[in-house]
Structure 1
Amino acid sequence: MTELAVLDRLSADSQHPVEQLVRHPRLPLVAGTAAKSRLVRVWDCGGGRLRELAPVDLGPAREPDPSEWWRSETAPPVAWHPERPLLVVADGDTLTRWTPDGPSAPEPASAAYLHLAFSPDGRTLWAKPSGGSSDALDLATGAAVPAPYWDTGVAVHPSGELVATLVSDQSATFCLFARPGAEPPAAMRQLRHALVLAADGYGTPLFSADGRHLAVRGNAYFDSLDVFTFPSLRRVLTRTLAEDDAQRWPDENLAWDVRPGVLWIGTPTGSLLELDVETQEIVEHPSPAGVAISALTATASGELLVAHADGALALLSVGPATPAPEAADDVAVFLAGTEEVPPTGELEEHLVYTDGSGSWESEDPDAD
């Protein structure tokens, strides 16, 4: 059994406990957000210590458009640059850049963005407004081009050669895969092979550290967890965490260990579950305080950063230091079995679907 050790603790905001922890992919930096809070906190997790840096304070809430009342209930969208200590925060029709020197003055944006993500090369910022399209923004010049529709968030494969995101409606969600474009501002180049999920309301997909597994947290109707192998997209685990609001689990409660196939899950009781996705064996690590976990992530160096419902944060060691695994060279295998979606026509007409057990080429799984 893995021995967890507390490296450091901090107290944050008990009125607005962190509900999402967004880690930098390579640097010991983590940003924290919460619904109904206009403060984006940033922590340095280097050297086994937690140090809070200058936050991004978005100030008083803006009056939302009546048709978008829900904006005041959601956390500000954020995205880390893949190499530099640069965080971008969206707030209405502005973007704010954070660096270790502090936040910049807000810059005007062409739309009010709900989701942000950097391309793997860091030169393009992918931004999703509330409408039926997205933008690709050149980080250096601010130039923007329209891009294919996506929603919820973007998962980057550890190789940087592939990304996964979602396209949702009330009846189903497609987990789409795409290749990053070449020149900024470069849109995603969507691929035909797609996962189909049962409902809507899923969270951003999460690739494992070696790229061989993909976890999907959802959905709008009950707390579920699905894990697929990559590149086969074979479903190896499906689990219902809870089916009613009284047992609601935190939405951002997954973190991959650097060890292949080990997934950490934060719980409403404050314990951490250590799950081997292939054997489906679970080890529970109880929390002495018993305070619910509100968010969880793995830092770039492999520690776990845990946010609790009382506002506290804890940085945990998961045992002896383990080198990050090399990303498996499976993207080439995946790309060899698919092709890019044509630029015209309905997306659904071009997709090859899999639900983790079988594949078909229309929305009807019984089609020939």
Structure 2
Amino acid sequence: MTQLALLARLSADGRHPVEQLARHPRLPLVAGTAAKSRLVRIWDCDGGQLRELAPVDLGPAREPDPAEWWRSETAPPVAWHPERPLLVVADGSTLTRWTPDGPSAPEQVSTAYLHLAFSPDGRTLWAKPSGGSSDALDLATGSAVPAPYWDTGVAVHPSGELVATLVSDQSATFCLFARPGAEPPAAMRQLRHALVLAADGYGTPLFSADGRHLAVRGNAYVDSLDVFAFPSLRRVLTRTLAEDDAQRWPDENLAWGVRPGVLWIGTPTGSLLELDVETQETVEHPSPAGAPISALTATASGDLLVAHADGALALLSAGPTASAPEVADGVAVFLAGTEEVPPEGELEEHLVYTDGSGIWDFEDSDASGSVNQLMP
């Protein structure tokens, strides 16, 4: 069992408590957002301290398109550059760049984006609008190319050689894997081997620090957790977090620990669950602040940053500082067993997919190609 220790605590905005924490993959920087809030807050977590930096204030809310009324209800999309202290924030048809010197003037883009993600080399910004397409943008030149459809978010394998994202509809969700393109602006090169999940509304997939596991939080109908081994995609754990709709769990409540196989889960009671995904043993740690958890992430150094529903933030040490775990060479194994999706035809017709136990391709389905018919 890990011994948690409180390193630092800050009070934030109790009216708009942080609901999403986006951590920089290598630097001690974390951005926080909330639905119905136009303020993107940034914290420096270096040396076990919590220091708030200049925020990105998007100003008064814009009048949304009546067809997209929900846009004012969602948090601003953000993405960290994989190497530099650079955060990009989307707001309607503009992008704002934040650095430690503060935010830049907004830059006009061709459309409004719902999700952002940097390619692992940092040279391309992948951007998802509300329609059935996506863009790959070269931030250095402003050029853009159309890219394969994806939604929700992008998880980068710690090797930087593979990414995972979702393609969803109400009947099912595919977790798709892709190789980053070579030259900016470079789109994802989607691969045939995929995961299939029931229903929709899942959160962004989350690779463990050693690359050996992939966690998926969802979905729109139940507070669930699924963990898959990588590269086999064998399901090693599935759990319903809550049966009672009255006890809604936070959506952004997962963080992989530095210790291999340990997943941290924030709860609506304020406690933290330490879950060993292989033994499936769970240890509950008392609330560090006495309020429900609204978001959770692990910083680049392995500490846990916890946001609470009363606006407070707590930085916790999850044990002695440890070096980053060795990344398993699972990507090479995965790539050896699959190939890229051809650019022509329907995506589903080219996929070989698994739910973590069985494997199917399009020809194994009935005439309608319904994924639901394939679930055992």
TM-score tier (shorter): over 0.9
CA contact (8 A) 2:54 2:100 kept: yes
Q: Note the C-alpha offset of 1:188.
A: 0.1
Residue 242 of structure 1: CA displacement?
Answer: 1.4
Q: Output the aligned Cα RMSD.
A: 1.1
- Alpha-carbon displacement from aligned partner over 1:31-76 (angstroms, at most 9, x marks no partner): 0000000000000000000000000000000000000000000000
Query: CA–CA distance in 2 between the matches of 1:139 and 1:164?
Result: 22
Measured after TM superposition, the shift of residue 274 of structure 1 is 0.1
* Structure-2 separation of matches of 1:183 and 1:98: 24
CA distance in 1 between counterparts of 2:224 and 2:119 reads: 28
Q: Aligned pair in 2 of structure 1 residues 4, 144: CA closer, same or farther (>3 Å)? A: same
- How far 1:366 moved relative to its partner? 8.1
Separation (CA, whole Å) in 1 of partners of 2:242 and 2:167: 24
Determine the C-alpha separation between the residues in 2 that align with 1:112 and 1:106.
Answer: 13
> How far apart are 1:288 and its partner, in Å?
5.8
C-alpha distance in 1 between matches for 2:34 and 2:242: 22
Normalising by structure 1, we get a TM-score of 0.98
- For normalisation by structure 2, the TM-score amounts to 0.96
1:299-348 Cα shifts (integer Å, max 9, x gaps): 00000000000000000001111111121111000000000000000000
Query: 8 Å contact 1:154–1:165 — kept in the other structure?
Result: yes
Cα offset, 1:110, TM superposition: 1.1
Q: Deviations over 1:254-277 (max 9, x none)?
A: 000011100000000000000000
1:364 Cα offset (Å): 5.1
**Is 2:354 the partner of 1:348?**
no
Moved beyond 6 Å, runs of 4+: none
Secondary structure, counterpart of 2:203 in structure 1 = coil
Distance apart, 1:28 and its partner CA = 0.1
What is the CA deviation profile of residues 153-185 of structure 1, one whole-angstrom value per residue up to 9, with x for unaligned ones?
000000000000000000000000000000000
Alpha-carbon separation, structure 2, partners of 1:218 and 1:6: 29
Q: Aligned with 2:246: secondary structure?
A: helix
- The 8 Å contact of residues 288 and 314 in structure 2, kept in 1 or not, is answered as no
Shift of 1:290: 3.0
Task: Report the identity percentage.
Answer: 91
Deviation by residue 1:178-203 (Cα, 9 ceiling, x = unmatched): 00000000000000000000110000
After superposition, the C-alpha distances for 1:213-238 in whole angstroms (9 at most, x for unaligned) are 00000000010000000000000000
Q: Residues 314 and 363 (structure 1 numbering): CA distance in 2 closer, same or farther, change over 3 Å?
A: farther
How many residue pairs get aligned? The number is 367
- 1:80-229 → structure 2 map (5 Å cutoff): 80-229=80-229
TM-fit CA distance, 1:289: 4.4
Between the aligned partners of 1:216 and 1:365, the Cα distance in structure 2 is 24
Aligned to 1:245, the other structure's residue is in SS state coil
358-367 vs 259-268, which moves further: 358-367
- 8 A contact 2:289–2:308 mirrored in 1: no
SS of the counterpart of 1:83? Answer: coil
Distance 1:35 1:350 in 2: 37
Matched residue of 2:362: which SS?
A: coil
Shift of 1:365: 5.7
Q: Taking structure 1 as reference, are residues 315 and 344 closer, same or farther at Cα in structure 2, changes over 3 Å only?
A: same
CA–CA separation in structure 2 for the residues paired with 1:146 and 1:106: 22
SS in 2 for 1:247: coil
Query: Once the 2 structures are TM-superposed, how far is the Cα of residue 245 of structure 1 from its aligned partner?
Result: 2.8
**1:363, 1:12 → 2: CA distance?**
53
Which moves more between the two structures, 324-333 or 17-26?
324-333
Contact 1:359–1:365, Cα closer than 8 Å, also in 2: no
CA contact (8 A) 2:289 2:312 kept: no
Equivalent-residue separation in structure 2 for 1:246 and 1:78 (angstroms): 30
For 1:363 and 1:174, locate their aligned partners in 2 and report how far apart those are by CA, in whole Å. Answer: 17
Q: CA deviation at 1:208?
A: 0.0
Q: Could you say which residue in structure 2 is the equivalent of 1:272?
A: 272
Deviations 1:119-146 (A, max 9, x none): 0000000000000000000010010000
Distance 1:259 1:363 in 2: 41
Extract unaligned runs of 5+ from structure 1. Answer: none
